[in-house]
Chains A and B, each alone.
Chain A
Amino acid sequence: MEYISTDLLKEGMTVAKDVHSQSQMLLLPAGTELSASKIRTLITWGVRRIFIEATEDLEATQNIIKQKEADNIIDTMFIHNPNNDFIHSLKMAAARNLRRKMSEEL
Protein backbone atom coordinates (compact mmCIF):
# COMPACT_ATOMS: atom_id res chain seq x y z
CA MET A 1 0.00 0.00 0.00
CA GLU A 2 1.30 3.45 -0.92
CA TYR A 3 0.05 6.97 -0.08
CA ILE A 4 0.42 9.13 -3.16
CA SER A 5 -0.55 12.54 -4.47
CA THR A 6 -3.66 12.73 -6.67
CA ASP A 7 -1.42 14.47 -9.25
CA LEU A 8 0.41 11.17 -9.68
CA LEU A 9 -2.64 8.90 -9.99
CA LYS A 10 -3.02 6.91 -13.18
CA GLU A 11 -5.86 4.95 -14.71
CA GLY A 12 -5.85 1.33 -13.63
CA MET A 13 -4.50 1.93 -10.12
CA THR A 14 -6.54 0.37 -7.30
CA VAL A 15 -7.78 2.36 -4.31
CA ALA A 16 -6.52 0.66 -1.11
CA LYS A 17 -8.57 2.57 1.47
CA ASP A 18 -11.96 4.33 1.33
CA VAL A 19 -11.58 7.93 0.15
CA HIS A 20 -13.74 10.57 1.86
CA SER A 21 -14.29 14.26 1.18
CA GLN A 22 -13.53 16.79 3.93
CA SER A 23 -17.18 16.53 4.93
CA GLN A 24 -16.68 12.75 5.33
CA MET A 25 -18.78 11.81 2.28
CA LEU A 26 -17.56 8.57 0.72
CA LEU A 27 -16.11 9.39 -2.69
CA LEU A 28 -14.53 6.06 -3.62
CA PRO A 29 -14.57 2.78 -1.68
CA ALA A 30 -11.48 0.61 -1.26
CA GLY A 31 -11.00 -1.73 -4.21
CA THR A 32 -12.13 0.78 -6.84
CA GLU A 33 -10.10 0.74 -10.03
CA LEU A 34 -9.29 4.30 -11.04
CA SER A 35 -10.48 5.73 -14.34
CA ALA A 36 -9.79 9.20 -15.75
CA SER A 37 -13.19 10.47 -14.60
CA LYS A 38 -12.71 9.06 -11.07
CA ILE A 39 -9.33 10.80 -10.82
CA ARG A 40 -10.96 14.06 -11.95
CA THR A 41 -13.66 13.57 -9.31
CA LEU A 42 -11.03 13.28 -6.59
CA ILE A 43 -9.26 16.42 -7.75
CA THR A 44 -12.57 18.30 -8.00
CA TRP A 45 -13.37 17.37 -4.39
CA GLY A 46 -10.01 18.70 -3.25
CA VAL A 47 -8.54 15.31 -2.30
CA ARG A 48 -4.76 15.68 -2.27
CA ARG A 49 -3.52 12.16 -1.53
CA ILE A 50 -4.98 8.66 -1.34
CA PHE A 51 -3.86 5.14 -0.47
CA ILE A 52 -3.40 2.87 -3.50
CA GLU A 53 -2.48 -0.79 -3.71
CA ALA A 54 1.24 -1.27 -4.30
CA THR A 55 2.21 -2.25 -7.82
CA GLU A 56 4.54 -5.19 -8.45
CA ASP A 57 7.46 -2.79 -8.93
CA LEU A 58 6.89 -1.14 -5.60
CA GLU A 59 6.49 -4.48 -3.86
CA ALA A 60 9.71 -5.69 -5.43
CA THR A 61 11.49 -2.61 -4.08
CA GLN A 62 10.02 -3.23 -0.67
CA ASN A 63 11.33 -6.78 -0.69
CA ILE A 64 14.87 -5.43 -0.87
CA ILE A 65 14.35 -3.47 2.29
CA LYS A 66 15.41 -4.98 5.56
CA GLN A 67 11.93 -5.40 6.95
CA LYS A 68 13.01 -7.44 9.93
CA GLU A 69 15.61 -4.88 10.90
CA ALA A 70 13.05 -2.06 10.72
CA ASP A 71 10.58 -4.03 12.85
CA ASN A 72 13.23 -4.71 15.49
CA ILE A 73 14.17 -1.03 15.69
CA ILE A 74 10.52 -0.07 16.14
CA ASP A 75 9.92 -2.79 18.78
CA THR A 76 12.87 -1.45 20.80
CA MET A 77 11.62 2.13 20.55
CA PHE A 78 8.27 1.08 22.05
CA ILE A 79 9.53 -0.79 25.14
CA HIS A 80 7.83 1.74 27.44
CA ASN A 81 4.43 1.16 25.82
CA PRO A 82 1.91 -1.63 26.38
CA ASN A 83 0.64 -3.85 23.57
CA ASN A 84 -2.80 -2.75 22.46
CA ASP A 85 -4.57 -2.15 19.13
CA PHE A 86 -3.65 1.51 18.99
CA ILE A 87 0.05 0.98 19.72
CA HIS A 88 0.10 -1.92 17.26
CA SER A 89 -1.31 0.34 14.51
CA LEU A 90 1.20 3.06 15.41
CA LYS A 91 4.08 0.58 15.28
CA MET A 92 2.93 -0.60 11.84
CA ALA A 93 2.84 2.98 10.55
CA ALA A 94 6.22 3.73 12.13
CA ALA A 95 7.75 0.59 10.57
CA ARG A 96 6.34 1.51 7.15
CA ASN A 97 7.84 5.01 7.39
CA LEU A 98 11.18 3.64 8.56
CA ARG A 99 11.28 1.14 5.68
CA ARG A 100 10.54 3.97 3.28
CA LYS A 101 13.40 6.03 4.75
CA MET A 102 15.71 3.01 4.54
CA SER A 103 14.80 2.38 0.91
CA GLU A 104 15.43 6.06 0.08
CA GLU A 105 18.88 5.71 1.60
CA LEU A 106 19.68 2.59 -0.43
Chain B
Amino acid sequence: MIVRCISWLRSHYGMVRKSFCALLALLVVGDLLVPRHHPHFLGDEIPGFWALFGFLACALIIIASKWLGHAWLFRPEDYYDAKGKE
Protein backbone atom coordinates (compact mmCIF):
# COMPACT_ATOMS: atom_id res chain seq x y z
CA MET B 1 0.00 0.00 0.00
CA ILE B 2 2.79 2.38 0.98
CA VAL B 3 4.66 1.52 -2.19
CA ARG B 4 1.55 2.25 -4.29
CA CYS B 5 1.06 5.63 -2.59
CA ILE B 6 4.65 6.62 -3.13
CA SER B 7 4.71 5.55 -6.76
CA TRP B 8 1.46 7.44 -7.41
CA LEU B 9 2.98 10.56 -5.86
CA ARG B 10 6.13 10.08 -7.90
CA SER B 11 4.18 9.78 -11.12
CA HIS B 12 2.28 12.98 -10.34
CA TYR B 13 5.40 14.97 -9.59
CA GLY B 14 4.16 18.21 -11.14
CA MET B 15 1.01 18.19 -9.07
CA VAL B 16 2.90 17.47 -5.88
CA ARG B 17 5.19 20.37 -6.57
CA LYS B 18 2.32 22.73 -7.29
CA SER B 19 0.43 21.77 -4.17
CA PHE B 20 3.58 22.18 -2.09
CA CYS B 21 4.01 25.71 -3.46
CA ALA B 22 0.36 26.43 -2.78
CA LEU B 23 0.83 25.24 0.78
CA LEU B 24 3.79 27.57 1.23
CA ALA B 25 1.79 30.51 -0.09
CA LEU B 26 -1.12 29.56 2.15
CA LEU B 27 1.19 29.55 5.17
CA VAL B 28 2.41 33.07 4.53
CA VAL B 29 -1.11 34.35 3.86
CA GLY B 30 -2.43 32.51 6.89
CA ASP B 31 0.23 34.15 9.01
CA LEU B 32 -1.58 37.49 8.46
CA LEU B 33 -4.65 36.17 10.18
CA VAL B 34 -3.19 34.39 13.20
CA PRO B 35 -3.70 36.19 16.51
CA ARG B 36 -0.48 36.99 18.35
CA HIS B 37 -0.73 36.90 22.10
CA HIS B 38 2.83 36.99 23.38
CA PRO B 39 5.19 38.23 20.70
CA HIS B 40 8.69 37.61 22.03
CA PHE B 41 10.50 39.85 19.65
CA LEU B 42 10.12 41.86 16.49
CA GLY B 43 10.09 38.83 14.19
CA ASP B 44 7.00 37.43 15.83
CA GLU B 45 4.99 40.43 14.69
CA ILE B 46 5.99 40.48 11.03
CA PRO B 47 3.89 38.09 8.95
CA GLY B 48 6.03 35.68 7.02
CA PHE B 49 9.14 36.44 9.06
CA TRP B 50 9.60 32.83 10.10
CA ALA B 51 9.16 31.67 6.52
CA LEU B 52 12.02 33.88 5.46
CA PHE B 53 14.00 32.80 8.50
CA GLY B 54 13.50 29.14 7.67
CA PHE B 55 14.56 29.54 4.07
CA LEU B 56 17.60 31.65 4.88
CA ALA B 57 18.56 29.36 7.73
CA CYS B 58 18.48 26.37 5.42
CA ALA B 59 20.55 28.13 2.77
CA LEU B 60 22.99 29.45 5.33
CA ILE B 61 23.51 26.06 6.93
CA ILE B 62 24.04 24.26 3.66
CA ILE B 63 26.32 26.83 2.07
CA ALA B 64 28.35 27.67 5.16
CA SER B 65 28.87 24.03 6.16
CA LYS B 66 29.77 22.89 2.68
CA TRP B 67 32.18 25.78 2.30
CA LEU B 68 33.77 24.88 5.61
CA GLY B 69 33.98 21.27 4.50
CA HIS B 70 35.65 21.96 1.20
CA ALA B 71 37.90 24.68 2.53
CA TRP B 72 39.17 22.78 5.51
CA LEU B 73 37.44 19.78 7.01
CA PHE B 74 36.93 17.24 4.25
CA ARG B 75 39.36 14.34 4.08
CA PRO B 76 39.20 11.05 2.18
CA GLU B 77 37.25 8.32 3.95
CA ASP B 78 40.32 6.24 4.72
CA TYR B 79 42.12 9.25 6.14
CA TYR B 80 42.73 7.80 9.58
CA ASP B 81 43.43 4.27 8.36
CA ALA B 82 45.94 5.40 5.79
CA LYS B 83 47.82 7.54 8.25
CA GLY B 84 47.50 5.08 11.10
CA LYS B 85 49.77 2.38 9.77
CA GLU B 86 53.28 2.83 8.54
Asked if A and B are interacting partners, one says no
Residues of chain B whose beta carbon lies under 8 Å from any beta carbon of chain A: none
